[in-house]
Structure 1
């Protein structure tokens, strides 16, 4: 009895200390998550360098991290800096009256009056819809401006998080396998099941981060490129916006290039409108359908409605990181339940089959002989 009390007390204290540690790490959740993602995505690179260089863990981890910096971190920093400048410039032009979103919408309606009739069929007041679109556009530009000012004011915090991410990624690249083995020994779930869960976690993380983000970058680059070729202002800004909304299924980048094509047609630039529409449908639209099975894989791909809901929920819960973490949590949820149904469902069905199955003649003869 006293031994059981000791065990329960120890387990209660273990849970309490673990929760306290999680709360302690909560301010650094973003850097920790992206460090884990980097370690998982660049693990094949680390293994390749290990085969080439031999048993030199520090050198291998450092070289892998340098490759990640060149391929991912430095380009993202340049893109974020350019995006901040574009967003601040857009907000300033709206405040100075150089850019009036309402005038663009009115010009489109004048050229395509059927749009207003279409809204009227559903009992919607187009003037109200117009005001909401304008306020949303202004609010979005104001948000970008606030983020730009916040980025300038919180430069130290930003680079502190970046330094923590790189620091943690180095140790995860170097000692990741040892940490996984330690967790497998510590968790009381059964070693085989734990290895399966960790393998599934790594697979889903790579598919979600590498696949979805890579597809978003490709679609954003294609959209920004065609905007730049057609001479549309703020091509970089709209390219980044298309990359972000391309994470949402069903609509994606069309939320940006379709209104732009309508405006070009309304202003009489029919050639540019046709080029943008054709490029959006054929190139940008098909990029998701062609590339997602390649980069993400059919086994880990989520239904479109799950991706949409998990992405929106992830943004609400985790902020900008939710674009990745929302679908990741949803994929892990489905993976865990899939493992549960496969293992525990089969284990529950197996005894019922053995009990109900009649004994064969050989089994009956064996029983009689043993008797």
Structure 2
């Protein structure tokens, strides 16, 4: 019969677990308004805390100075360029929208030139399926472009109009980053010791989480920046309107493995070919295939590494779902959740295999003992 004291301990333990879960959820709800700031502060600490620790050692243990220098580096390399890019993107989107509405950029004329340059068989196909109504196409296509530009400009302008909220989020991120960069190892040890998992499973999952975050950031951000920069510069050199917008769009679409940037430069190349701009089209195709495309094929495996390499379909689905659920933050949350899902199930598989091996060894030992007992020497 179970003793009253044991039942009391079980009730108290259950109550404490419920309290831990409730308080944790309440704290997560409390942080929700600054979820993005906290997320990027943690990511910055994961990425650059090892650098901060090494710099602190070189500076004779002056951890505050080392952390301040690393934080200033992050501001100079990431924060300031991002703000300047946003300002320039607003200006270019506004200017392009003005040219579209004023008729300086005539979508109808562009579609007419494209249709006139197509082969006769293709034009018959277009006519057969009712795609030759240029006015309708012009209205729909032009409306889509202007709506997209309005959305881009509106979203970025809303950031400017909500400058107080933006600055508060940025301040929270930098403030949190400072303490996590300086004391990240201590906080990490506290998390390790608090998790209700056995030591081997806990250490394996935490190490895998840190590995995935670093690999995702390197493989995603670096590739996006390089592909977007190369694409934007190429469009600018070819004299294509809105080069900065197309470059940023290519950077975002590079989140989609293998074909992402092709959604931008391939239609532009087709238009250039169709309208007789053979030289520009050939340059764009060559650079798109052998420079922009190869950036993904060459850099991503080097930056991500084999240990965290996931199937492309998993990366694609988790990235799109992450963006849908969490906005811009989802491009890191989605792949990290997918990687941890695979890691947890790999742990489960390894545990089952280990248990099966132990049971097989125990059965073999039992059979050997029985055999010895049945046939003593």
Shared fold per TM-score greater than 0.5: yes
In structure 2, the residue matched to 1:347 is 354
Taking a change above 3 Å as real, the CA distance of residues 95 and 200 of structure 1, as seen in their structure-2 partners, is: same
In structure 2, the residue matched to 1:309 is 317
Match of 1:173 among 181, 203, 211: 181
Taking a change above 3 Å as real, the CA distance of residues 368 and 317 of structure 1, as seen in their structure-2 partners, is: same
In structure 1, the residue matched to 2:202 is 194
- Determine the C-alpha separation between the residues in 2 that align with 1:115 and 1:171: 63
Match of 1:58 among 61, 64, 73: 64
> Is 1:297 aligned to residue 297 of structure 2?
no
> Is 1:255 aligned to residue 263 of structure 2?
yes
Taking a change above 3 Å as real, the CA distance of residues 227 and 115 of structure 1, as seen in their structure-2 partners, is: farther
- Do the aligned residues in 1 keep the contact of 2:49 with 2:182 (CA within 8 Å)? no
- Determine the C-alpha separation between the residues in 2 that align with 1:7 and 1:347: 31
- Do the aligned residues in 1 keep the contact of 2:93 with 2:152 (CA within 8 Å)? yes
TM-score, normalised by the number of residues in structure 1: 0.90
Match of 2:95 among 89, 92, 104: 89
Task: Tell me how many residue pairs correspond in the alignment.
Answer: 367
Alpha-carbon distance, 1:311 to partner: 1.6
Alpha-carbon distance, 1:193 to partner: 2.1
TM-score, normalised by the number of residues in structure 2: 0.89
- Determine the C-alpha separation between the residues in 2 that align with 1:46 and 1:115: 61
2:165 aligned counterpart, secondary structure: helix
Match of 1:9 among 8, 15, 29: 15
- Determine the C-alpha separation between the residues in 2 that align with 1:2 and 1:361: 46
Q: After the TM superposition, which parts of structure 1 deviate over 3 Å for at least 4 consecutive aligned residues?
A: 100-103, 113-121, 123-136, 358-369
Alpha-carbon distance, 1:321 to partner: 1.8
- Do the aligned residues in 2 keep the contact of 1:216 with 1:244 (CA within 8 Å)? yes
> Is 1:286 aligned to residue 294 of structure 2?
yes
Q: Which runs of 5+ in 1 are unaligned?
A: none
1:298 aligned counterpart, secondary structure: coil
> Is 1:334 aligned to residue 342 of structure 2?
yes
In structure 1, the residue matched to 2:190 is 182
- Do the aligned residues in 2 keep the contact of 1:201 with 1:332 (CA within 8 Å)? yes
Q: Which runs of 5+ in 2 are unaligned?
A: 1-6
Alpha-carbon distance, 1:47 to partner: 2.9
Taking a change above 3 Å as real, the CA distance of residues 337 and 117 of structure 1, as seen in their structure-2 partners, is: farther
